[in-house]
Amino acid sequence: MEIKVEIINRELIKPSSPTPHHLRCFDLCLLDQLQPKVFIPLVLFYSNNSTVNPSDLPHFKAADISHRLKTSLSETLSRFYPLAGRVKDNVSIECNDAGIDYLEARVNCSQSDILERPEQKMLYHFLPKEIVCPQPSTERLVLVQVTFFDCGGMAIGVCVSHMLADAATTCMFIDSWARAALATRASDIAVLLPEFSAASRIPPRIEFNIRSPSRRLGNGTTVTRRYVFHASNIAALKAKAASTKVPQPTRIEAVSSLIWKCAIIASRSNHRSLMPSMLTQMMNIREKLVPPFPKNAFGNLVCTFGAQTTESEIQLHNLVIELRKRKEAICEDYATKLYGDEAFSIVSEKFKQLGNLLASKDIHNIFFSSWCRNPLYDADFGWGKPTWVTVATMVLNNPIVLMDTRDGSGIEAWITLSEEDMALFEHDKELLEFASFNPSVLN
């Protein structure tokens, strides 16, 4: 079936109250300056949920839903005021309340057509076209597309500029928006407020000369597959990955290490060489620093670390040990030093080291981004929690995106590899022992 999406309305949503004059210039922090100029693209799918009281949302009328979404979005932008502004220069945002794009669309299929057998390329139908290219031309910092299905379900596509937001900030924005929508009929709903202190502790540099580690675009054809690791399989995988050095691997460590191992084996088989491999991952450092940032700190409070292996015989538990060691090392390095002028020195050095490794053609690189433990499945705008939340992968070299499953105990992985590597990867017996290939979201 050919999916056709019709845009039926486009509006500019502005903050419900003007940003005070003294807040009109928002400083980026040093870590914001390192981020690529791409959008973080999330899609939340909502079914026509019969458990919601029809008197609360009569017949799920599109006009009623859209009115609630736009009103609460406007209120949320007044709290997250930098997102409604425009980039001023390489160190600041002009918080001029210019607004964000809000699109409404209809699609010629049922939601079950998408959720029964999800494909990555389908997700782009539910996102504004402006963000699909590697270097988006739009000056907006947030774009939203609400798409209505024939069955009464809907999809909310949210795209936030990576210049201002990491995964935690994006999830906080969506959570605050959902709470604002619920608050229109329940006065006891607490709405989250962002905290804007990042630039005061990790100031930007006007003369910015740090080169962010380059994650090369894939050469040739890439293939994306979806795998789901259910809770019982993760428990078995953690037991298999355990060792005396890491007796209790985390869910993310166990799943990441298995995917990494299978990707290494596939790459080495195709290249017919024992090429070293490096896993690069982003990590939220809000609570890792001394003193810690609050959980609601706004911005890109993340660091990148790389774990390497040169083993000729790849052992799962050794990959877990290497991951844990590199995470702890980066936390130790950043914990007390990411402050003021010293932040620039340490970030420059770390990124230089990582950049040299990523630029090498003699190292197999794979990039992980984990969205797990972010409360996206709690985003209830007034008609129930989402049936499925997912992220459209960005056009980086070999990206692996990890998301929680709806029950919070499993992990969903979007895995992108070269066509040649994927042909071997998807038949790996150890992978298929613990992961299910693209199961229905509806089961």
Domains of the chain, with CATH numbers? 5-201 (3.30.559.10), 222-437 (3.30.559.10)
Residue whose C-alpha is closest to residue 369's, from 298, 304, 422: 304
- End-to-end CA distance of the chain, in Å? 22
Closest CA to 254 of 370, 405, 120, 417: 370
Residue 162 annotated as catalytic: yes
Pair 376, 44: CB distance under 8 Å: yes
Catalytic residue among 27, 64, 378, 380: 380
> What is residue 220's predicted lDDT score, i.e. its pLDDT?
64
- Measured CA to CA, the distance from residue 303 to residue 287 in angstroms comes to 12
Q: What is the pLDDT along the chain (443 residues), one digit of tens a residue?
A: 688 999 999 999 999 999 999 999 999 999 999 888 889 999 999 998 644 443 344 345 788 899 999 999 999 999 999 999 999 988 999 999 999 999 999 999 999 999 999 999 899 999 998 776 555 557 899 999 999 998 889 999 999 999 999 999 999 999 999 999 988 665 567 777 999 999 999 999 887 767 666 554 445 688 999 999 999 999 999 999 999 999 999 999 999 999 999 999 999 999 888 999 999 999 999 999 999 999 999 999 999 889 999 999 999 999 999 999 999 998 888 888 888 888 888 888 888 888 887 777 888 999 999 999 999 999 999 989 999 999 987 655 558 999 999 999 999 999 999 999 999 999 999 999 999 999 999 87
pLDDT computed for residue 53 by the predictor: 43
Any catalytic annotation for residue 333?
no
Angle between helices 231-241 and 316-335 (to 10 degrees): 90
**Looking at 125, 162, 175, 421, which residue is catalytic?**
162
Which residues make Cβ contacts (< 8 Å) with residue 298, sequence separation at least 6? 80, 82, 164, 165, 169, 172, 194, 195, 196, 198
Residue 209 identity (one-letter amino acid): N
For residues 246 and 263, the answer to whether their CB atoms sit within 8 Å is no
